[in-house]
Amino acid sequence: MGEIDFGKSLSRTETSIPGLVVFDLPVHGDSRGWFKENWQREKMTAAGLPDFGPVQNNVSFNDAVGTTRGIHAEPWDKWVSVATGRIFGAWVDLRDGPSFGAVFTTELDASKAIFVPRGVGNSYQTLEPDTAYTYLVNDHWSPDATYSFLNLADETAAIAWPIPLTDAEVSAKDLAHPRLDDVEPVAPRKTLVLGAAGQLGTALRAELAGLDHVEWATRADLDLASADLASARRWRDYETIINAAAYTAVDLAETSEGRVDAWAANASGPAGLARIAAANGISLVHVSSDYVFDGASDRAYREDDPLCPLGVYGQTKAAGDIAASTVPRHYIVRTSWVIGDGDNFVRTMASLASRGIDPKVVDDQRGRLTFASQIAGFIRHLLEKRPTFGVYNLTSDGDAVTWADVARRVFELTGHDPARVTGVSTEDYFAAATAPVAPRPRNSVLDLTRARESGFAAEVGDTLLREYLAS
């Protein structure tokens, strides 16, 4: 039997396959035997092991030298190690992408382990009798899961098995697996976009066009209030949920019917998504609003400022933020004054200007426009760059303006006299209202430092407004 390498420190070594990482494990031994921490979440994540959330531990015991198993690529991550004995391990990347077909081999004894990401084919051959091969996985076996397999003798992979396969113990099933040219590559985990028909959903369709792993859903496609939500999809196949759905009728939310709908869409819905995401290791992207603040601050709002909403809409959005923040992998994108496809303030002002109507527009609320295309681009940035999880403010950059300032600029850019716009206070604007009116934050300016530090440069609002009107 081979000697176990005692006295190592916990460390990681990258391999030729992206995401496949070998770990040296400290093993402590004396005359009685040895001890190791085979998996210790806090220490190993600190050393760079993904926090992959294992749910099951399996052990494969092998009597004889030369027992050979694989090459199997399952739709879950594995933490592979040896309890007794020694193996020659071989891994082949069967994921769809540029590293498809890449091979890595190494020997494992009790002092080594390897993290095998979803879609990488896993196989081994025992080098000692009575070898116990153990692995943690982060999903339960399912007949609905999609698997890929590669023949152990594939000529392209050309694995140099220490014991020739003709002399090894191999199952008939493993011998019958396809060659690399016939393997169905493992697709990436999917992204689900909710609110696919809304203005942000429309912008995301343009931003994520051509990505086959992105799915789109409206409220009719997926009911977040359903008691069967947990089984509505095979959620372990999803990497990300983007919640672009929301109830945004801020004044109607102050009515008895609107209040129910706002709480259902903005609070209960995100709470259901949060439970799904947390239970299945999914990243949740949730879009928030400046209305979670009361607007009383004399400076731009930062991500860590306490929530203090004024009206029902703001309260429901704040509740949704709190629910989303319970997900270990979450991005909350907080925006203000959103402009996208469909009816919006900019389109309304352009229409009034062209029809010769001189509007009165509120001039005591300050903020910055946020364009739906900009939000979609920032969400893609977060998913590709994966900065620290948490809350990120995102609006256009530049000086804060009032709604009256925006209206005058729309008039000007469309060739009309901006002096036709009259600024009025919020109180005067709504003085004649007969239906409930939601309180508005007077200061909606959001600090963009954190988004900037993530590597995303927000464009100046006036530039984006020019482009929007031109299009």
How confident is the model over 56-113, as pLDDT tens digits?
999 999 999 999 999 999 999 999 999 999 999 999 999 999 999 999 999 999 999 9
Domain 190-470 has CATH 3.40.50.720: yes
Boundaries of every domain in the chain:
11-182, 190-470
Could you list the pLDDT tens digit for every one of the 471 residues in the chain?
A: 457 778 789 999 999 999 999 999 999 988 888 899 999 999 999 999 999 989 999 999 999 999 999 999 999 999 999 999 999 999 999 999 999 999 999 999 999 999 999 999 999 999 999 999 999 999 988 887 888 999 999 999 999 999 999 999 999 999 999 999 999 999 889 999 999 999 999 999 999 999 989 999 998 899 888 888 888 998 999 999 999 999 999 999 999 999 999 999 999 999 999 999 999 999 999 999 999 999 999 999 999 999 999 999 999 999 999 999 999 999 999 999 999 998 899 999 999 999 999 999 999 999 999 999 999 999 999 999 999 999 999 999 999 999 999 999 999 999 999 999 999 999 999 998 889 999 999 999 999 999 999 999 999 999 999 999 998
* Residue entry with tokens 């001039």: 363
Is residue 392 part of the annotated active site? The answer reads no
Is residue 72 part of the annotated active site? The answer reads yes
- pLDDT (tens digit per residue) in 287-305: 999 999 999 999 999 999 9
* Residue entry with tokens 């306490």: 306
CB count, 10 Å around CB of 351? Answer: 13
- Longest CA pairwise span in the chain (Å): 94
Return the pLDDT at 4.
78
Return the pLDDT at 1.
47
Return the pLDDT at 2.
58
Query: How big is the chain by its Cα radius of gyration, in Å?
Result: 28
Note whether 133 and 62 are within 8 A (CB): yes
CB count, 10 Å around CB of 414? Answer: 14
Which superfamily does CATH assign the domain made up of 11-182 to?
Jelly Rolls (2.60.120.10)
Q: Which member of 135, 238, 247, 313 is catalytic?
A: 135
* Residue entry with tokens 């949740």: 284
